[in-house]
Amino acid sequence: MNNNYLKNIKRQFHYYKKLGDDTFIQLTNKDIRWKFNDESNSIAIIVKHIIGNQLSRWTNFKAEDGEKEWRHRDTEFENEYTSKKEMIAAWEKGWNCLFDAINSIKEDELLELAYIRNEGHTYIEAINRQLSHYPYHIGQIVYVAKMIKSNHWKTLSIAKNKSAAFNNQKNLEDKSTKHFTEDS
C-alpha cells in the first residue's frame, strides 16, 4: 500500500468533523437540546453518542478492545449536554482521540488486527467501520439543525438550484487529482 489510504481517510474524517463544526456555529444552547418528539435524539445526545464511541474505539486502539469496559453506551442517550460550549469541548476531545490514534498508524500496520467486542478487524476495516458510523450521525445532526434553523439555515454544500453553476465552474478548471475537500 502507499500513503494514499491514511492520507485520504484523515481528510475524510476532517471533512465530517468540519460539517459538525459548521453546523454548531449556527446553533444556540437551546437548539442543541431540541427534539422533534420524545423518541428523537437531540443534537446534544447525538454528539454525546459519537464522542462515547470515539473515546471507546480510539483510546489505546492498538492494544485494547474498542468497546471499553468503562463505556456505558446506553447512558450516551441520557442527560445531554446543557451548553454548546460543553458539547463542543467534548466534540474536540473525541476527535482529538481519533486523530491521535490514526496518526499513530503506519502503512505497514494496516492489515494488523484491532478488536471491537472481541471481533477482529484489520486496521483498515476498523477505520472504515468508523468512517461509516460517524457520517451517519453527522448527517442526522445536520438534518436536525436544518429543521431547527429552517429558512435561516446556511447550507454546508452546494445550495439548492446551484448545481449547474457549480458543475459549470468545475468543468472550466483543468483536470487534476486531489481530494474533493482541498477547495474548501
Q: Which residues of 93-117 are buried (b: 16+ CB within 10 A; e: fewer)?
A: ebbebbbebbeebeeeebeeebebe
More confident of the two residues 21 and 162: 21
Q: What is the CA radius of gyration of the chain?
A: 18
Q: What fold characterizes domain 4-158?
A: Four Helix Bundle (Hemerythrin (Met), subunit A) (1.20.120)
What is d(CA 78, CA 62) in angstroms, rounded to the nearest whole number?
Answer: 30
Q: Over pLDDT 90: what percentage of the chain?
A: 80
Q: What is the pLDDT of residue 139?
A: 98
Q: Residue 2: its pLDDT value, please? A: 59
Question: For the segment 77-122, what is each residue's pLDDT rounded down to a tens digit?
Answer: 998 898 999 999 999 999 999 999 999 999 999 999 999 999 999 9
Tens-digit pLDDT profile for residues 169-178: 778 788 877 7
Region 42-54: mean pLDDT is 98
In this structure, the chain runs to a length of 184
94 contacts 55 by C-beta, under 8 angstroms: yes
Where do the DSSP E strands lie in the chain?
A: 113-116, 119-122
Provide the pLDDT for residue 136.
97
- If 0-12 CB within 10 Å is exposed, 13-18 middle and 19+ buried, where does residue 12 land? middle
**Residue 184: pLDDT band by 50, 70, 90 thresholds?**
low
Q: Is the pLDDT of residue 45 over 70?
A: yes
Q: Residue 166 — pLDDT band, cuts 50, 70, 90?
A: confident
pLDDT of residue 65: 96
pLDDT (mean) for 50-58: 98
Closest residue by Cα to residue 184 from 6, 27, 50, 19: 19
* Residue 69, pLDDT above cutoff 70: yes
Q: What is the mean pLDDT of the chain?
A: 93
User: How far is residue 117 CA from its own chain's centroid?
Assistant: 21
Q: Could you tell me the residue ranges of all domains in the chain?
A: 4-158
Looking at the DSSP bridge assignments, the partners of residue 115 are 120
